[in-house]
Structure formats: C-alpha cells, structure tokens
Structure 1
Amino acid sequence: MNEPFIILENQDHASWLKARTYGIGGSDASAIIGMNPYKTNIDLFEEKIGRRVPEDISDKPYVRYGTLAEEHIRALFSLDYPEYKVSYHENRILRSKAYPFLQASLDGELEDKNGRRGILEIKTTNILQSMQYEKWKDRIPDNYYIQVLHYLLVTEYEFVVLRAHLLGNWGRDKRTTVKHYFIERSEVEDDLKMLLEEEQKFWKYVESGRKPPLLLPEI
C-alpha cells in the first residue's frame, strides 16, 4: 500500500521523545494558530529553533494519569465499539511525505466495516469547575480539534473518533463522564486547508529564523 506518510519506529520512549521534537506535531498545531491556552506561537517558534527548551510535564500527576490510563481506555473503546478494528503501535511516528515537517503520534488507528481508515484520539481531563464541562458540551475544545485536524493532514485518513474521559471529584467520590466525538474528513475540508496553509507559513518562519507575528488565544 502506497501510504502518504513514512513510518518511524523508535526503539523506546526516549528515542520517540527525541524524534518528535522535529517538525510540527499534533500538540504543536493549535499554538501555530493562536488556539493553545498554554503556549503561544512565539513560544513554539523559539522551541523549534532551539532558543527555548520545552517544559517537561511528563511527571505531572494529570499527565501520568493520562499516560497510564491510555491503554485501558483504548481497550474499553474496543469493547464499546466492536464495529471498529483498533490497532496501536507504541513509539511510532508518522511523517508526511508531501510535507515532511508534519508528523503525528496516534493513540490508535481505526478501520470500520467498510474498510475506511480513521484515527482514535484519547483525552483525559480533570474537571475542577462546572464551567469546564461547558468546553466539552456538544463540541471538542479548539486546541484538541486542531490537533486531530493535524493528524488528518498527516495520515489522509477518512475520520476521527475522539474519546474523552472527564474526571471530577465529588467529595470522596470520583466520577468519570465519557464522551465521544465523531469527525468525518469530508465535513472539515475547509478547516484542513486553512490549517495546512498556517502550518506551512509557520515552518517557513522556523527555517528562516525570522520570528512570526504573535497570536494569542481568545480568553
């Protein structure tokens, strides 16, 4: 099969971490267009040219929870949606052939009963205030939406399923709300075109070393 990407198999997590610093990854994409609440496009630019070292958040409790929970959530998804064939390749990176500065690390790959290929994205989020639930009501938060669009650009797959586990504390009780969001590539072609154009512009700034104009997320 002539894939639109090359597959980079990394021997271990450390090798994967090093390889993903190249180019633009899924978690970078929202910063490029000013939709990342934690990082500006200037922060990202300085990381990519080696002027700034990205913060290591791997030991933060919410990150560790998400990392350790991922394989179990993927297994639960398979049980809940047996109509999909689910596969996962640890420490694998996909790099676009057409745009080699675009790459993706997927939480899972899907195949439906018609043989169409898709992406499984898994999110775990601590809900500390009721207003945070609103960000997930009937839609995906902007930064995660841009992330899955980026994965569609790299893979050229047909659809995405995002499974979100929203965690909340009610006194001594812990509650998890599970939500699923289904995106068809055919319905987001305009957004894909926009994102590709912005990522291409950003990477030209990186290659030239010229700082891009600052973009800030809406509050």
Structure 2
Amino acid sequence: MASPTRKEWLEARKKGIGGSDAAAVLGQNPWKTNVELWEEKTGRRESEDISDKECVRYGVSCEPLMREMFKMDYPEFRVKHEENVVLQHPVYPQLQASLDGMLWDQAGRLGILEIKTTTVQRGSDYDKWKGQVPQNYFIQLLHYMLVTGAQFAMLKARIKNEWGSEVSITEKHYRFERSDHTADLEYLLQAELEFWEYVLSDTRPDLILPEI
C-alpha cells in the first residue's frame, strides 16, 4: 500500500484538530485565534499556505537530519517515523496527530518526538526557550500525548541566532512525562472536544483574548 502524498496528508488534517491547531483552541497560538481556526474548520476561511516560506522550507529540510542526530545522541530510544501519516485518537477521531517520530524507551514505553527549528533575533525570543519551551509548542506536545496515549514526549529544538552578520546555532532537548501533566491533559481534552462541538454545530465560539 502506497504512502499518502503530502496533498492527501494536508487534506486529512482539515478534518480534525491537529497538533498545530491545539494552541489556537486555547487562544495560545501567536499566529492564529480560536475563531480563525473555527472559520478554517467550517470552510469559511482558507488556511494560509505557508509551505513556500523560507523558514518552513528550512524546517522541512532540517527535520530528517535532526531525527538522525537524535538517534545518534539518544541511542537508548528506538525511533520510528512514517511520512504523511495522520493518527487519530481511538475514542475521539477528530483529534489527530502527525508525528516527527515515535519513540520507545528501554522499558518499552511509547513516547513521541517533536522537532522544531526557529530563528531568534531578540533576547526576549531566546528567553522563551530557557528551561522551558514556548507555550504553543508545549500544548502541541500535550495534544500528541493525548492522541497517541504516549507516556512521554521529547522535543529537539534547533535555535538559530542572528545578531547582525553573526550566526550561531544552539540545540536544546526537553523531556516531558505524561504523569507530570495529567491535569493539563484533561483540560486540553475538554477544550478540544468543546471546540469541535462548535465546528459540528456551525456555532461561532467566543474569541479567546491573550492574557496581558
């Protein structure tokens, strides 16, 4: 059976809530509101095609290389990746996941691997990565654990710093255990189910304003 094409993968993602949608559901996506997401899911708005943006092309090109680097740096994990595959929650199929990698630790526990590339040009941008990950990426990891039932999640980030003509690269690794975030997972699940009811009933949700 042939693997899905990228076009088929993109079409499948429109039929549910994916990892990149999860933060918008909670009003925590810097680039998209929960109402804009609802408009996309109900066909009122076309999602922006960002595939030709330089930063996106850079990330797509880096992903397989970074996955191989992860394998070398963390040989204790078994890593599996399938291109253009959309996973669904076993009970709530509208919750979907497209993973950069699935992991198994030495105890046989399932985990997920997420790979991020980003360019920072201000100190405040870099501060978001100090001992933590940006909130929208953390929510994405929670969503993937929800969908897959994974017991842990790991994020590998490549942070490119541009200060004038000088460029430096920092790589960071973060690990999250499901057992440490049970309340967060339950909160996100209820929020996503509620959002999807707005989609199914074609009822516009209230706009969630960011905290000041």
Superposition TM-score, scaled by structure 2 size:
0.97
Structure 2 residues without counterparts, runs of 5 or longer: none
1:50 aligns with 2:47: no
1:134 aligns with 2:127: yes
**Counterpart amino acid of 2:8?**
S
Residue 100 of structure 1: how far off its partner (Å): 1.1
Aligned 8 A contact 1:42 1:211 in 2: yes
- 1:117-156 aligned at under 5 Å gives the runs 117-156=110-149
Distance 2:128 2:211 in 1: 13
- 1:150-165 aligned at under 5 Å gives the runs 150-165=143-158
Other-structure match for 2:181: 188
1:25 aligns with 2:23: no
**Counterpart amino acid of 1:73?**
M
1:203 aligns with 2:196: yes
Other-structure match for 2:104: 111
Structure 1 residues without counterparts, runs of 5 or longer: 1-8
Match of 1:11 among 4, 7, 11: 4
Distance 1:37 1:10 in 2: 32
1:217 aligns with 2:207: no
Report sequence identity in percent.
52
Match of 2:168 among 154, 168, 175: 175
**Counterpart amino acid of 1:99?**
Y
1:75 aligns with 2:43: no
**SS of residue matched to 2:185:** helix
**Counterpart amino acid of 2:143?**
H
Residue 171 of structure 1: how far off its partner (Å): 4.1
Superposition TM-score, scaled by structure 1 size:
0.94
Residue 11 of structure 1: how far off its partner (Å): 2.3
**SS of residue matched to 1:167:** strand
**SS of residue matched to 1:138:** coil
Aligned 8 A contact 1:117 1:159 in 2: yes
Residue 218 of structure 1: how far off its partner (Å): 3.1
Aligned length: 211
Aligned CA-pair RMSD: 1.1
Aligned 8 A contact 2:157 2:173 in 1: yes
Residue 186 of structure 1: how far off its partner (Å): 0.4
CA offset digits 1:72-98 (Å, max 9, x no partner)? 000001111111111100011101120
Other-structure match for 2:34: 41
